[in-house]
Chain A
């Protein structure tokens, strides 16, 4: 118990760290500035700003804003990224409620009741409940991370290469099972990602693989490049298809009366609690995390409600539960990343990308060698949630105005912003062209109903998987049964196999599709 408090204490110490600023014009007097809190604040604000733009999801937002953190020290950069992440998520909920365009899959269900509430002139309470629910879920999840962090790290240190490989296989299978759509196609996307990660030079032999003597490919495909292509550019191109303006029915009433009534609070409290619990559990599991959590929370709420007919017509529980769940899940999905070094979803994969750029290899070692980094980030999550609550609610008016920016002006701006961002990663024009190419690939993937998120996950895990597979087989002297004879590895593999079998069984398939069905009607 003492450990948890000292760790959290360390974290908050990092977040509230004051830097003395001695500007020349004050004549030697210095002002203490809470730099990390400011970074968190800016991150949350900018994240919301971009996340609120319709049609830009969380992954795209984080990918787009990645370059603005490059100039910062690692701790500050990660804190800012965490802020961006929550901001983006909250921005997504805002668009769901106000314009019925969920920016990301995680807030699809929020749109069902949130938009109805907005139409009834109750956009204020809907937004407030979303923020309050998210904040509560965030508090619980922060404590959960602190509690689970240390023991999981110890477990991770006991892992050998074989266990790591099995764990990654399990993680990928989870990602497939919990995601929406065809299992087969999702696996195909993961393998495509693994294959793409092979481009560049081989870590052990240094041989150049599939790089075709293009110098820019010698180090492999840049992670930020692919992410920005698949999520940034591809989304733009796809949105142009539907002709931007067509189906944007913005709630025209003024958003007034922000505060929820006592009855609203009473109605939504149990929903927030249930959503938080469900979200925290689903978030730890590698895979869809936030997405499945919000769908599952909505379904559960509808099942336990005494008045299920109200759902879809502006029930406040229908906003409270999924919003709490997706925030809890968004936060607990940091657990596998920080303790095991394995990103459970595409956003976390981006976080790995950002850490790598700063020279940090996520995993149990980071937790031990750079505790201030890990705990600072965890504490900043809580602060980030608080920021969202106290800053974003008063700013709702600004977000609403942003929603009125026509797409014809927005998309060229995004193109420019992404291009500059990608270029600034390596100062390489080729990267920009590659991202454009991946944009077209992403457009094609969307047209063929392939999900790009598993591809990104595969791409990040590729090098790790290869390395651990190699090592495991080297240690076992080429004996493939090592994955089944080492007990821990065998358990992980067994779970993975069982999951895969369950996922393709027709009865369970139906249950799984049922959870997602809400979005379609």
Chain B
């Protein structure tokens, strides 16, 4: 997974003094996460004498990440680095939608429905999908999972929609 830093000539929207936009943005995001964590743990108790409070360790790591994020940002400003990689919307969008649909339908509709729907949604993630083939494979896979998880592995999964069971 290391071969990704794209050298694609993405239109640079970065100011000129940023020489490594990839690190610059990455570092800023880390600082953002650190600040968010520091805010989120601000209500927790700190040190009591020499014993740690609930908030001590989160704050410690938060400040550490803030510093490291700043350092990564600095590297992005000072040294020549990779440009921002090109993002694609289709794959991430449909895979996320498929996961979301699975999560929302598994309880009310059961596994068979949830698996089949989210198989079809995620198949939209690429332009290469051929629908007949996808339908057949999806059905087979759903059947396989319906046998594997509840029966072969003994996991408590509900297969059918709730309204059909009652």
Same complex:
yes
**Chain A residues in the interface with B (C-beta under 8 A):** 57, 67-68, 70-71, 105, 180-182, 184-185, 187-188, 191-192, 194-195, 198, 202, 204-205, 207, 209-210, 212, 233, 235-238, 240-241, 243-245, 406-409, 411-413, 415-417, 419-420, 423-424, 427, 429-430, 432-433, 435-436, 439-440, 443-444, 446-452, 462, 466, 469-470, 473-474, 477-479, 519
Determine if B50 is an interface residue (Cβ-Cβ < 8 Å): yes
CA A237 to CA B62, docked complex, whole Å: 29
Residues of A within 8 A of B123 (CB): 408, 412
A-B residue pair count with CB separations less than 8 angstroms: 232
Given contacts A411-B126, A440-B96, A449-B23, 7 further A-B contacts (CB under 8 A): A191-B64, A205-B45, A210-B41, A245-B128, A408-B130, A417-B145, A447-B87
Q: In the complex, A440 Cα to B95 Cα: how many Å?
A: 10
B145 pairs with A240, CB closer than 8 A = no
Give the residues in chain A near B145, CB-CB below 8 Å.
416-417, 420
What is the CA–CA distance of A70 and B87 in the complex, to the nearest angstrom? Answer: 37
CB distance from A240 to the nearest CB of B (A): 3
CB-nearest residue of chain A to B85: A447
Q: Establish whether residues A233 and B95, one from each chain, have CB atoms under 8 Å apart when the complex forms.
A: yes
Assembled-state Cα–Cα distance A474/B149 (Å): 47
Minimum CB–CB distance from B54 to chain A (whole Å) comes to 4
Q: Does B134 sit at the interface, judged by CB under 8 A?
A: yes
B26 touches A185 (CB 8 A): yes
B64 to chain A, nearest CB (A): 5
Considering the complex, give the chain B residue whose CB is closest to the CB of A234. B1
Q: Which residues of A contact B134 (CB under 8 A)?
A: 408-409, 412
* Mask of B107-125 contacts with A, CB within 8 angstroms, 1/0: 1000100110011101101
11 A-B pairs with CB atoms under 8 Å apart are: A68-B153, A188-B65, A412-B137, A413-B141, A416-B119, A436-B95, A436-B96, A447-B22, A448-B25, A449-B5, A473-B50
B157 contacts the other chain (CB 8 A): yes
Distance to closest chain B CB from A47 (angstroms): 16
**Distance A427 CA – B111 CA, assembled complex (angstroms):** 12
Known pairs A212-B40, A412-B138, A443-B92; A419 contacts B45 (CB<8 A) = no
Chain A residues near B1 (CB-CB < 8 A): 57, 105, 235, 238, 446, 451-452
In the complex, what distance in Å separates the CA atom of A205 from the CA atom of B56? 12
- A173 smallest CB distance to B (angstroms): 14
B57 at the interface (CB under 8 A from A): yes
CB distance from A18 to the nearest CB of B (A): 22
Instruction: Tell me if A195 and B58 are in contact (CB < 8 A).
Output: yes
Across the interface, name the chain A residue whose C-beta is closest to B116: A416
Nearest 10 A-B pairs (CB), nearest first? A478-B50, A240-B91, A436-B99, A207-B54, A448-B26, A432-B103, A202-B54, A188-B68, A429-B103, A412-B122
Decide if B4 touches A469 in the complex (CB within 8 Å).
no
Q: A192 to B65, Cβ gap below 8 A?
A: yes
Nearest A-chain residue to B69, judged by Cβ: A188
Contact A433 B2 (CB under 8 A): no
Q: In the complex the two chains form, is A473's CB within 8 Å of B52's CB?
A: yes
**Chain B's nearest CB lies how many Å from the CB of A191?**
5
**Interface: B129 (CB within 8 A):** yes
* Across-interface contacts of B26 in A (CB, < 8 A): 185, 448-450
Instruction: Assess the B118–A446 pair: CB atoms within 8 A.
Output: no
> Which residues in window 18-66 of B have CB below 8 A to A?
22-23, 25-26, 29-30, 33-34, 37, 40-41, 44-45, 49-55, 57-58, 61-62, 64-65
Q: Is B155 interfacial (CB 8 A cutoff)?
A: yes
CA of A25 to CA of B130, assembled, Å:
46
Given contacts A209-B54, A429-B107, are A420 and B100 in contact (CB under 8 A)?
A: no
**B residues 61-86 with Cβ under 8 Å of A?**
61-62, 64-65, 68-69, 71-72, 75, 82, 84-85
Contact B4 A447 (CB under 8 A): yes
B119 A415 Cβ-Cβ under 8 A: yes
Contact of B155 among A182, A244, A424, A439 (CB under 8 A): A424
